[in-house]
Amino acid sequence: MSVIHRSLFSLVSLALFVVLVAIKVDNKCDWNWFVVFIPMFVLDLLMCLMLAMKWLRTSPAAAAGLSTASTSATNRWSHSISMATSSAAQRRLYQNIYCLTCLLTKLTFQVVICLRLDYISGSRLPLYITFIPFWLCIISCLGLMVSTRFISSGNRSIIS
């Protein structure tokens, strides 16, 4: 899927989500909050599939400069950590892990928000506990930015 298709799908699903939230907040429908969040869940599923395809497509043998015909799909998973000795392969592995962490914490946050809005009263689930996955996602994104900007820059100064 090209970049334009991904961005168009993201914008359409976000617009549909905003419309569904507006309809739900105005009490025009009596839907469950999980139904309102379906566009975001579909977007998360698509992102997870694209991340898995990217992870499987990037073989450790290709990162090491070897032929990809000699490695099977099952060997890619088993060798992905052991072959990540070069800094570029290690950086790609960390970026994939950060992206997966952000995706899972975002999905967890959406489910917790839906549970809080539909089933759990405010006194049983405080708001600060509801937002823990969100803060973990923000910290993970910050870690990704710091690792790609400052750690991967090598010996360059922090102020560039």
Please tell me the distance from the alpha carbon of residue 53 to that of residue 56, in angstroms, as a whole number: 5
pLDDT, tens digit, for every residue of 48-83? 888 888 878 765 555 555 444 445 555 555 555 555
pLDDT, tens digit, for every residue of 111-138? 999 988 888 766 677 888 889 999 988 8
**Structure pTM?**
0.70
User: Mean pLDDT of all residues in the chain?
Assistant: 78
Domain ranges of the chain: 37-60+76-151
**Residue 6 confidence (pLDDT):** 83
Please tell me the distance from the alpha carbon of residue 86 to that of residue 64, in angstroms, as a whole number: 8
Please tell me the distance from the alpha carbon of residue 85 to that of residue 49, in angstroms, as a whole number: 26
